[in-house]
Amino acid sequence: MKNILVPVGSSKNALSHLQYAVDFAKAFNAKLYVVQVYNVYTKAGTMIKVDHIIEKESKAFLDNLVSKIDTKGVDVVVKTLKGKLVDTLELASKAANIDLIMVEPRTNSIKDEVFLGKTSGKIIKQTQIPALIVPEGYQFKPFASILLAVKSAIIKKEKALNPLIDIKDNFKANVNLLLVKTPYYNDGDFDVKEQLGGIVENITKSENATTFHGVLEHYQSHSPDMLCVVRRKRGFFVKKWEKNVILKKDFNSNTPVLVLSGLK
């Protein structure tokens, strides 16, 4: 893991999130890209474009944030990017060979009942970039135990597990696999091949309506330092992510959540 992208909003948690990102990046000797995405606006009633003003203000905002944290020798690159959020982040990630995007739960929302705000939810739901959701105010510490929850152990995408493997190897963490049998179960879904079997310590099988409900049932007994889930058509947050905003009553986590791109 060499390149990490951190989109920054205007939340009160921005400094804490950025410090976590720096500490995480240092553990991997990775480069950190701190970005803010803005759209193009035209001042009402005039033909004067103000996007250059927004760009300047965004850059000053990011520079000020970075000046307030301990960068610990990490190579931090500050960028302002113009365009639509999802498209711009995907283009930037491709250009910079981003391995992981680090998301704070609420970049702008001030509502306490919100787990993932509209912007963060959109990044998680609409991109295919591996992402780490870091709880607000969470201080960095090495991971000792990771719970990987999936409804199918079939892996077709090359390098789909790389972010998980990188984290496991770097921190020498134990990965426990939770296989959840849902109504969409197909023969062979629980066949754990070498690619996955080689990185997990223990396997638990459960039968639930969704992967999400399987995690709710087994999360406390595993007590992981990190939860790892997978994007897919009928994936972990299929219902929770129909809207970009996710409420804490629907899902909340006091530990980081690693979201892999689809395995198939």
How many other C-beta atoms lie within 10 A of the C-beta of residue 244? 16
Q: Where are the alpha helices (DSSP H) in 127-184?
A: 162-171
The pTM score is 0.85
Distant-in-sequence, close-in-space partners of 75: CB < 8 Å, separation ≥ 6 = 31, 32
Q: What gap in Å lies between CA 94 and CA 105, rounded to an integer? A: 23
pLDDT digits 0-9 by tens, 170-195: 999 999 999 999 898 999 999 999 88
Question: What stretch of H or E contains 149?
Answer: strand 145-150
Q: What gap in Å lies between CA 147 and CA 104, rounded to an integer? A: 20
Spatial CA neighbour of 234 closest among 168, 183, 163, 165: 183
User: Is residue 54 helix, strand or coil?
Assistant: helix
DSSP 58: H
Spatial CA neighbour of 20 closest among 93, 100, 130: 100
Q: In which residue are the tokens 């905002």 written? A: 61
Could you give the percent of the chain with pLDDT greater than 90?
A: 46
pLDDT digits 0-9 by tens, 2-20: 999 999 877 788 899 999 9
Distant-in-sequence, close-in-space partners of 163: CB < 8 Å, separation ≥ 6 = 1, 99, 100, 130, 258, 260
Per-residue pLDDT, 46? 53
Task: Report CA 218 to chain centroid distance, whole Å.
Answer: 21
For range 124-153, the mean pLDDT: 89
Pick the range with the lowest mean pLDDT from 44-48, 90-94, 144-148, 223-227: 44-48
Q: State the average pLDDT for the chain.
A: 83
